[in-house]
Amino acid sequence: MIHLSQSPTAPDFVQDPYAFYTRARAAERGGGLPFWDDYAMAAAFTHASVQGILRDRRFGRTPPEGSAPVIPPALAPFYDIEAHSMLELEPPRHTRLRAQVLRAFTSRRINAMAGEVETLCHTLIDGFPVGDFDLLPAYATPIPVIIIARLLGVPERDADRLLLWSNAMVQMYIAGRSPTMEAEAVAASCAFSAYLSDYIDVRRNDPRDDLITALIAAEDAGEKLSRAELISTCILLLNAGHEATVHGLGNAVSCLLVHGDAPAQCSSKTAARSVEEVLRYDPPLHKFTRYAYEDMEVFGHRFSRGDEVALILGSAGRDEEIWQEADQFRPGRTPQTHSAFGGGLHFCLGAPLARLEMQIALRVLFERCPDLSLTAPPLYRSTYHFHGLDQLRVQL
């Protein structure tokens, strides 16, 4: 077995993880899945192994009996929410929850948001300051936060609170989290849960045309979502509905300004391809994990039941056996299947919304601001397994 060592918090890795991924793919091809010592688990780095394990039902998100990590009591409020999140579940429960959410999260409902997304983009651009400013809080962050709040039906005036809670909760997923981060995540979990519990009661008594009302009403074989499932699902949609899209949009603007002719690459005819290339080249989410559900050998690695494996989505998109000049940003590429939204039964159900938001936001930004330029090199924040910018300094 090949062992690899790479701290996910090392400054050079934070700014450019792709050099390590290139070495890791070569190691995998030469000797099977390598063992990433810093995570104490095997890791899949090639497109074939990442997608293969994502689609292999012998692996899953829920730890098999006897393999679940011990949850410290102090962290229970956070993990109590996770316990009802479809992202952490397997069939049959995952199937029931996902079917009900998909029934509410329809393509019709998402596509109907296009006009609102475009109007919001124009409103935010109207408020851009003169001179040097950070595009992330001015544009990339508010778009997905406000849109998912509108879709769910929670008051837009609460978007800032929701963002603070979400940012605190997702600290639980990053490498090198501190006790302070854990305490902030737990406090946010309690506040977020209480807020949504109250708001669900409001919507039960005053139904509207929104996702929360639809989820309350959703039925599958006569079984509705429990209150805990409703709360966890709403938190998942709010957290996932903005976190990755904020990073994806920031990474996209950065790539386009550094590597290409952004206005030409973000027209109504070219924006879709540019978005897919960004998601391949510099995706916002780089790592997921799965548990092995039986003893087996897969991609040259021997798994025992309960072993974890890391699936490195950020590496799969740079696989030189799938894409020519994989380390080059080529917005005009013919799109191919990439791993930015995962794969298999846990494929991101918010992918259509993320694509819609990114395509519209990039098109409107570069139509309105064709001379937008960087005033400082883009810097990534140390939040692995997320991969997004700490700031994006620009001027009009």
Write down the mean pLDDT value for the chain: 92
The enclosing domain of 255 has a CATH number of 1.10.630.10
Q: Which pTM value belongs to this model?
A: 0.94
For residue range 119-132, what is the model confidence (pLDDT) as tens digits? 999 999 999 999 99
For residue range 93-118, what is the model confidence (pLDDT) as tens digits? 999 889 888 877 788 888 889 999 99
Q: Would you say residue 34 has pLDDT above 90?
A: yes
Domain count, the chain: 1
Q: Of 284, 252, 243, 241, which is closest to residue 358 (Cα–Cα)?
A: 252
Q: Would you say residue 194 has pLDDT above 90?
A: yes
For residue range 142-192, what is the model confidence (pLDDT) as tens digits? 999 999 999 888 998 998 899 999 999 999 999 989 999 999 999 999 999
- SS3 assignment for 269-326: CCHHHHHHHHHHHCCCECEEEEEECCCEEECCEEECCCCEEEEEHHHHCCCCCCCCCC
Expressed as residue numbers, the domain containing 368 is 3-395
Distance CA 266, CA 256 (A): 9
For residue range 275-331, what is the model confidence (pLDDT) as tens digits? 999 999 999 999 999 999 999 999 999 999 999 999 999 999 999 999 999 999 999
Sheet containing strand 41-44, edge to edge, reads: 3-4, 35-36, 41-44, 308-312, 287-292, 59-60
- SS3 assignment for 195-207: HHHHHHHHHHHCC
Q: Would you say residue 221 has pLDDT above 70?
A: no
User: Residue 119 CB: number of other CB atoms within 10 A?
Assistant: 12
